[in-house]
Chains A and B, each alone.
Chain A
Amino acid sequence: MADLCDDDLWRLYQQGDTQAFEVLFCRHYAAVYHHARTMLSRPDLAEEVLQETFLAIARHADSYQPRGNGRGDGSSGASRAFRGWILKITRNQCLNRLAARKAQQTALTLTGLQWAEPESSDPQPSEVAERNEDLAWLEQAIVALPVDQREALSLLIHEQMTYPQIAELLELPLGTVKTLIHRAKARLADHWQKTPQEHRP
């Protein structure tokens, strides 16, 4: 079953095969978590989004229609369309949370109080060091990027999406996607230039 493409697995799941769902879950959970973590910069919220995304797709088996004639697209493994669909659900879950966070910030601002980000914000320094010591500077600089730049860059790097694929997922014009990515890289390069020599890997 592991060599079936996503669309074929989804078709099996629609017919009640829960093992097919398990294979799909194993194939995509890491990408969903990473995307949520990239957008929200909070491990606790990323966990919530991971859970709600998979619960949403499990409960709405009819909301994705596999392509083709029932034999998938002839390829095995992950399909771009299916991954795009899951990431779109993930993204919507993240946007809901970001909107809720903004509403809280606005409510506090109206009362003259200052917003304090919960303590669990990314990056956890020990975790960064553990994962990628030489790249800690880069991870920290990415977290400081605006969320739209961070998201576009992550899709380019981790999902290896093309500009048109990113534009489709984010529902943005192609030129805007290019601008987001180049703006993000420019800020990262700026951060690198400002990093004192002794703190560079």
Chain B
Amino acid sequence: MTCPLTPPVTSEDWSAWLANDLPEPRRRELADHLPNCPACQSVVAALRHVDHALPSLRPHPVPSDVLMRLRQSLASATTPQRWPEILTLDEVAQLLQLTDHELGEVLEDLPAFELAGQIRVRYARLLAWIEQRERDYTRHRAVARAGLSHAWLKSESA
């Protein structure tokens, strides 16, 4: 059973018609067509059923163990630290939770500048730098995972 019009009225058209999202000439055209087309009546009935069923869908519940884990990790993070706009290296180390030695290892990469002979880092630029490193790390991890899967599959097939 198909709509005899050329081109046929699509389910997408009927969904837009039901939601009153069609411009007037098209809306009237479809309204006139519907009583004479069993195929389209069947589509509209199915769409009405979907529209009726969708609001009854409940959201995915959060498992209680997930919630418990999340509360634990949030507990340590929810005290907002007020950082100045310009950070000293000591403050950078504290913010990044690095030792002096570890800080020395990333010092060259930091978005730092010199002010009166002292190295300083702008807080906003440091956040952007961290986000960039997160993105790089995610990408690197994805590629590494893919490489590992490949190696594993190769060893399996061998």
Contact = CB atoms under 8 A, between A and B. Distances in A.
Interface in B20-59: 21, 42-43, 46-47, 49-51, 53-59
Given A16-B79, A139-B57, A189-B47, 16 more contacts: A18-B78, A25-B74, A58-B77, A58-B78, A59-B77, A61-B80, A96-B135, A103-B139, A107-B150, A157-B55, A182-B15, A182-B19, A186-B10, A186-B14, A186-B15, A188-B54
Interface stretch (B99-107, B109-117, B141-149): B141-149
Interface of B: 10-12, 14-16, 19, 21, 42-43, 46-47, 49-51, 53-63, 66-67, 69-70, 73-74, 77-80, 127, 135, 138-139, 141-143, 145-147, 149-150, 153
B138 A186 contact: no
Contact of A185 (B15, B60, B79): B15
Interface size class of A (residues with CB under 8 A): 35 or more
A37 interface: yes
B135 A47 contact: no
A30 interface: yes
Contacts of A104: 142-143, 145-146, 149
Given A47-B66, A60-B127, A185 B47 contact: yes
Nearest to A160: B55
A58 B73 CA distance: 11
Given A16-B80, A54-B74, A107-B143, A192 B62 contact: no
Contacts of A60: 127
A135 B53 contact: yes
Given A30-B59, A58-B80, A189-B11, A100 B43 contact: no
Interface of A: 13-14, 16, 18, 21-22, 25, 29-31, 33-34, 37-38, 43, 46-47, 50-51, 54-55, 58-61, 96, 100-101, 103-104, 107-108, 111, 113, 131-132, 134-135, 138-139, 142, 153, 157-158, 178-179, 181-183, 185-190, 192-193
